[in-house]
Amino acid sequence: MILNDAIIWSLTALAGQRLRSFLTILGIAVGIAAVVLLTSLGEGVHRFVLAEFTQFGTNLIGISPGRTSTTGMSGAVISNVRPLSIADARALSRIPRVLAAVPVVQGNAAVEFGSRRRRTYVLGVDADAPTVWRLDVAQGRFLPENETDGARALAVLGSKVSRELFGTSNPLGRRIRIGGERYRAIGVMATKGQMLGFDLDDAVYIPTSRALSMFNRQSLMEIDVLFAAGSNADSIAKRIRTLLISRHGSQDFTIVTQNQMLDVLGSVLGVLTLAVGAIGGISLLVGGVGITTIMTIAVRQRRSEIGLLRALGTGRGWIMGLFAIEATLLGAIGGMAGVIFGSGGAWLLHFLVPQLPTHTPIGYVILAEALAITIGLLSGILPARQAARMNPIEALRTE
């Protein structure tokens, strides 16, 4: 007996029991479809979050006040945390290979023009914010240089804020009120969209010193440092740490590079993808049990056929191989059906709900099909061994 004959024999056996084969294939298909669909959702979310997270670029380092680690002395006893200041940001901008450092203060306040009023994000930044955050100005200009200390009451509007307050009118030069204070609008930002739920178009940009006063803060919330492409992030972070320690007297701040944030985010999302895939794997386990059950029944029902093959000189290895091939074919066909249903379901979900990101990598498709074939083969080993061990004389006597 050759391999082609064995495959034809197995396909004929499957076709002879159409309903039983269909139900077995369906069990595997449901499991594979669940794995493909869930991993497509997980991978889609993974890519979406990383894309959102990196839209400001990857050459960024964030510095925030306070340390994430603790020491033996309680913070309630003594506090030596020095506020991050605008002067700190200016000092950081002079570090070699650092292109800009933006002092950031964020809050929420009412923005008013005439009878129109909108509560929105207010970001205190300086003139380098568009460079560091990859923002574009659609109309007018951004905050001018040297407008940090004693800054004039100037404001740049996000595209959504401009549209809500002024409609199609030109807002440049108009007087608006932000947090009860009068400002002059000098620019409108181009549409940027959302980042992790934060609407960058629904924001107003004002000088940092004015934001500190508006929100009654002593410290910056963050300093974002942009360094030159090709530079080593860890080396730049070390220079930042050395400079700030010399200014503050101790490390009372936290430095996080973009690579560190992406590594943590990637690991979390990777675990999420594996978790949802494991959930779908439960269905595969059920499908594997189904193949074992069906093949065991098939061996018992086809004893006379097995006895005839043995009487014609077919060895035990080929008998075992025939039933193993049959089980593997069940897994392979079920896997192909599951891949089609799973990837099709992922596409349909994205089509019906465009906000729901899905992505089915070809590697996952190949892995899912290989998994189905493996499950089919492993599930058929035990029944195949039972068939190979049958006594040919006793098998021929079976009606």
In the predicted structure, residue 295 carries a pLDDT above the cut 90 = no
Phi and psi at residue 256, to the nearest 5°: -130, 120
pLDDT score recorded for residue 154: 93
In the predicted structure, residue 52 carries a pLDDT above the cut 70 = no
Token pair for 253: 């701040």
In the predicted structure, residue 176 carries a pLDDT above the cut 70 = yes
In the predicted structure, residue 93 carries a pLDDT above the cut 80 = yes
C-alpha 138/C-alpha 189 separation (Å) is 5
CA angle 58, 105, 232 (to 5 degrees): 25
C-alpha 6/C-alpha 12 separation (Å) is 10
pLDDT score recorded for residue 300: 66
Three-state SS for 340-366 is HHHHHHHHHHHHHCCCCCCCCCHHHHH
Token pair for 68: 């994430």
pLDDT score recorded for residue 71: 43
pLDDT score recorded for residue 293: 76
**Measuring CA to CA, how many Å separate 299 from each of 20, 194, 320, 327?**
14, 60, 11, 12
Token pair for 262: 């992406």
pLDDT interval class at 72 (50, 70, 90): very low
Across the chain, the runs of DSSP E, i.e. the strands, are 60-65, 98-113, 116-125, 137-140, 154-157, 175-178, 181-189, 194-195, 198-199, 203-207, 222-227, 253-257
In the predicted structure, residue 75 carries a pLDDT above the cut 70 = no
> What DSSP designation does 253 have?
E
pLDDT score recorded for residue 76: 37
The string of pLDDT tens digits covering residues 347-399 is: 888 888 777 778 887 887 888 888 888 887 887 777 777 666 666 666 555 54
> What DSSP designation does 142 have?
-
C-alpha 292/C-alpha 27 separation (Å) is 12
The mean pLDDT of the chain is 80
pLDDT interval class at 73 (50, 70, 90): very low
In the chain, the amino acid numbered 138 is A
CB-based contacts of 129, cutoff 8 Å, min separation 6 = 102, 123, 135, 142, 143, 205
Of all helices (H) and strands (E), which one includes residue 382?
A: helix 362-388
pLDDT score recorded for residue 183: 95
Taking residues 254-276, report their average pLDDT.
74
Token pair for 102: 């933006």
CB-based contacts of 146, cutoff 8 Å, min separation 6 = none
pTM above 0.85, yes or no: no
In the predicted structure, residue 303 carries a pLDDT above the cut 70 = no
Phi and psi at residue 176, to the nearest 5°: -130, 170
The string of pLDDT tens digits covering residues 10-31 is: 677 677 677 777 877 887 888 8
Please count the other Cβ atoms lying within 10 Å of the Cβ belonging to residue 245.
Answer: 13
In the predicted structure, residue 200 carries a pLDDT above the cut 70 = yes
C-alpha 298/C-alpha 9 separation (Å) is 14
pLDDT score recorded for residue 278: 73
Beta carbons of 204 and 96 less than 8 angstroms apart: no
In the predicted structure, residue 87 carries a pLDDT above the cut 50 = yes
The string of pLDDT tens digits covering residues 102-120 is: 999 999 999 999 889 989 9
